[in-house]
Structure 1
Amino acid sequence: MIEFWLCAGLLLLTALAFLLLPVVRGRGVQAEEDRTALNVTLYQERLQELQTQHASGALDDAQLQRGRDEAARELLADTEGAEAQRKRGVLGSKIPFAAALLMPVLGYFLYMHWGAIDELERARNFANQPQSIEEMTARLEANLESNPESAEGWYFLGRTYMAQDRAGDAAQAFERAIGIAGRAPELLGQWAQALYFAGNKQWSEQLQGLTEEVLQADPEEVTTLGLLGIAAYEEGRYQAAVDYWQRLVAVLPAGDPSRQAIEGGIARARQELGQAETPEAVTEDTVHTLQVRVQLNPELQGQVQADDSVFVFARAVSGPPMPLAVKRLRVADLPAQVSLSDSDAMMPQLKLSAFEQVELVARVSRAGNATAGEWIGRSQPLASDTVELQQLVIDQVDSPAR
């Protein structure tokens, strides 16, 4: 902050220079007074000279009077100019001196009231790169002490706590961010992840509710998909872990550094799945697999784009509106045949095999939203253990209410 006060001091000195300039100029007032005294002396000498000339007969009475009048006019003109200059000098010296004394004090109190010295200090601190994660944490904590309503500050502090394996502190930070910014899916996902690790990887009703809320709002929220995969793997539900992580890999950018680790987790889960899976489990999964052939009505070809997302899912006829099993394609992939089974469940407790009748739906969404799009196709209700291939044609305008 020394640089700031130095700059402020220089600006103050510049302002004072302008204020005190009239005072410096006022030094000429004394010189003007001296000149007036000299004029008076010269006037008196002129009168004496005129009187001497009149006494010697060189001037008559009329000439003497004219000489006196002319000398008086010259003296009066010089005296009036000096008096005006003197008054201006006195007035011009008092006001600048008063302003020069008041300006620093007034400026200080005005800045302390309306200034932004705290923001300046924070900007100065964050301008320098932290040398360690502990230093970054200290900066974020100090920033939040003075600005506790910053949702961004709480979010980044939570991420920093997670990097330090302080999951409990991170959960509190994310909860504060949600209280300020609202229940955005990405914030809820981070909060759920912190709660999971803070609770020693024990699943809870709170975590279940949070993850369901997130996936309803954003089926592709990456933190939540990763968390559900981790939880499924820790509980020995390797197929569910594979499914969640595959959905996560599908939405990650090609150059994302976490792809390799996630793909490694998928490989380990498949290895565990191959060792643990029994023939009975395979038979049960086969019974609850729906085969669906999806195609687009030819009349809609000109109204869709090749990269538009196509969500194919099954949902309960009598049950929650959330899909029981879902697959994602592109318009360019159509026509295509997909299979829907318990392994494609969005939620572990909502499986295809848990409901007797389901409806098949295929939705085209340019925005990549599984819950709303432009075009849709639906099937008639059918048994969840149907083995025949089902035909599904996308041929209707999607309605938000349906």
Structure 2
Amino acid sequence: MIVFWSACALLLFLACLAFIVPIIRDKKPSQVDRDELNKVFYQGRMQEIEQDDEQGIISDKQSVITELQRGLVDDVTEQSAPQSRVSNASTLVPGVIVLVLLCVGFYLQFGSHKQVSHWQQVMADFPALQQKMIMGQGAAPTEIEVDNFMLALRTQLSEKPDDATGWLMLGRLAIAVRDGQLALDALAKAYELDATRSDIRVPYAQALLQSGEPLNIKTAENLLVATIGLEPNNLQAWSIYAFMALQNDDFELAIARWQKMLPLLQDDPERLQMVQGSITYAQQQLGEKVAEQAPQKAADIGHEYTVSVQLDPKVMLPTQGYVFIFAQMVNGPAMPLAAKKLPLGDIFPLTLTLSDADAMQASFKLSQQAEFKVKARISIDENASVAAGEWEGVSQPVQSGETDTIKVIIDQQM
């Protein structure tokens, strides 16, 4: 603030100089300078008269001298007459006063002095706002207090840009007031400063998810998966992860993720009830979705094959991921004839059915094959492509119309 007022004073001083200098330069020669000129002129003229007298050019020397003296007296008399010209000082002082008043008036009318005063007051109240916002002292903060706190926090961050906790706090407040771009920018800065903190990764994932951009959503999912892998009991990460599935209308996946939270909420009855309500809502939506889909005729579905999937004891399941169950031709393209994807959990041994209803393409179905095989693969993400380290199992060749349960044991590491 000192710099601001110093700059204002300097500009005002320069403006005054621009007004004063031309007046000073316009100053006329002083009376002393005029007297000196008259004296030099008189002495020079007297020398000329003496020379003319010696040469006999003039006949009456005394009359010429008298005339010269009379002219000098007349000039001195004119200089002594009252001057109508206003002195420099009488013009300069009022002019400077008017200039200063104009500058101050324009600033008060068109400047940002009110905003500056408000900012100064906010910075003065910042310690008290910190106690209220962070420590929760006193009544709940009002919307104006939240805005003031964010203003002071942004000022502080401009002076300390490496404060990851400050950027995190600003991002969380921006999410609360629904300022998506500010939240994304602030949390991206916090993540850039310290990517190891889960309390930064999770709200950053939330801001990315709320942006709606496909690339940001994928980045958010990766952040949540990484956080849950490191901290399986991170409730905030699981909550956002479940909401992501709900946002995609994947109600089954949302239910599975919320169910992961239930054992972690036994000591928080209020939040437990909220999650149970979310599960009920997703189940209702799932039921409506199924009811809206017209049931396919048996002829369209074709024969249903029952598949049983089991794990070999040596298989170590990841903390989260998916299991893909799909049918392929025994000798032919690797494209699945039918496929299902389920979230991992306490689901093994797993029993399900495959039919033409699970076909990937309408022109490429199980019912068209005389023989096929069934595979089951565990993946840590939603990518069905084979990755090193994943576990897989494959059945014996299955004949078309098989009625016995098809058994698949996951026992091969890729």
TM over 0.5: no
Higher-Rg structure is: 2
